């Protein structure tokens, strides 16, 4: 099968997960803390139910495929095709009632993300990409996604979910980039990368990401003409310290500061 053949199935996964999540949104749902440290890492019944639905669909249709998920661990992760699932990226926004969250669905072939989707069912938006192109579907219709040109870091708008999620050393390094941009904003989670792909943001800098936090977003950003790497300039699908840029010139400037 090709990526095109999988795209309809990925749409089914998005629809099923969205239908599972929405009844929980903006309700009095129970919240558990997965963190073993002082950092609050919430998970809800909606997270678990949505991932369970997606896993059942994948196993029923592609039993030979692997699955990597935030809530229920890894299965057959050495398979040629592996699905990487984050049922609710942005759970802290979700439990606060803000719609800045989304379901992330990635398909990896031999370790490389070949298709990704971010689905926001409350707003009704889907951002998808296959590294060669990226697309939007939502209330305003359908269109191709394209990053915007940005000649220098001094003209850039950057996002990070929160500097408080970074360790003290990385926070100081990020501060160098923050001082060099025109505008720095916090929040967004997966939406920051999608807004970068849509041409509204120039740079996203994060740390401590897991594979399921970033794998689906890589084909979207690269498909729109952007670049996603680690802070060391390496492939980003394994997570860690991540930088995404719409313009390669901004990416290079920011990398120099992150590694200076």
Residue that has been written with the tokens 């070949």 in this structure: 114
Torsion sign (Cα): 238, 126, 102, 100: positive
Question: Nearest Cα to 230, choosing from 249, 250, 258?
Answer: 258
Rounded CA-CA distance 240/153 in Å is: 22
Rounded CA-CA distance 91/3 in Å is: 29
User: What pairing do the DSSP bridges indicate for beta strands 183-186 and 157-160?
Assistant: parallel
Q: What are phi and psi of 176, to 5 degrees?
A: -65, -45
DSSP type of residue 161:
S
CB atoms within 10 A of CB 27: 10
Query: Is residue 98 a contact partner of residue 222, using CB atoms and an 8 Å limit?
Result: no
Q: Tell me the binding residues for Mg(2+).
A: 70, 86, 88-89, 213
Query: Is residue 40 a contact partner of residue 91, using CB atoms and an 8 Å limit?
Result: no
Rounded CA-CA distance 100/206 in Å is: 17
Q: Tell me the binding residues.
A: 70, 86, 88-89, 213
CB atoms within 10 A of CB 8: 8
Rounded CA-CA distance 227/214 in Å is: 13
């Amino acid at each position: 099968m090709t990526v095109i053949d999988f795209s309809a199935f990925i749409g089914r996964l998005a629809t099923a997960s969205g239908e599972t999540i929405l009844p929980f949104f903006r309700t009095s749902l129970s919240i558990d803390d997965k963190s073993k440290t002082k950092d609050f890492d919430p998970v809800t019944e909606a997270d678990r139910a949505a991932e369970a639905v997606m896993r059942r669909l994948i196993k029923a249709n592609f039993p030979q495929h692997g699955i990597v998920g935030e809530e229920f661990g890894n299965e057959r992760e050495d398979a040629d095709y592996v699905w990487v699932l984050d049922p609710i990226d942005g759970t802290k926004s979700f439990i606060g009632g803000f719609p800045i969250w989304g379901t992330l669905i990635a398909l990896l072939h031999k370790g490389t993300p070949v298709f990704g989707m971010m689905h926001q069912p409350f707003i009704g938006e889907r951002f998808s990409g296959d590294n060669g192109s990226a697309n939007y579907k939502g209330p305003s219709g359908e269109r191709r996604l394209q990053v915007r040109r940005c000649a220098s870091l001094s003209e850039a708008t950057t996002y990070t979910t929160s500097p408080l999620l970074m360790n003290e050393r990385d926070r100081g390094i990020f501060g160098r980039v923050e001082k060099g941009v025109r505008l720095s904003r916090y929040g967004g989670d997966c939406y920051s990368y999608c807004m970068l792909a849509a041409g509204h943001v120039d740079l996203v800098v994060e740390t401590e990401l897991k594979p399921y936090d970033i794998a689906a977003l890589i084909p979207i950003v690269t498909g729109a003409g952007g670049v996603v790497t680690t802070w060391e300039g390496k492939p980003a699908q394994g997570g860690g310290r991540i930088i995404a840029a719409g313009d390669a010139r901004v990416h290079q400037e920011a990398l120099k500061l992150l590694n200076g």
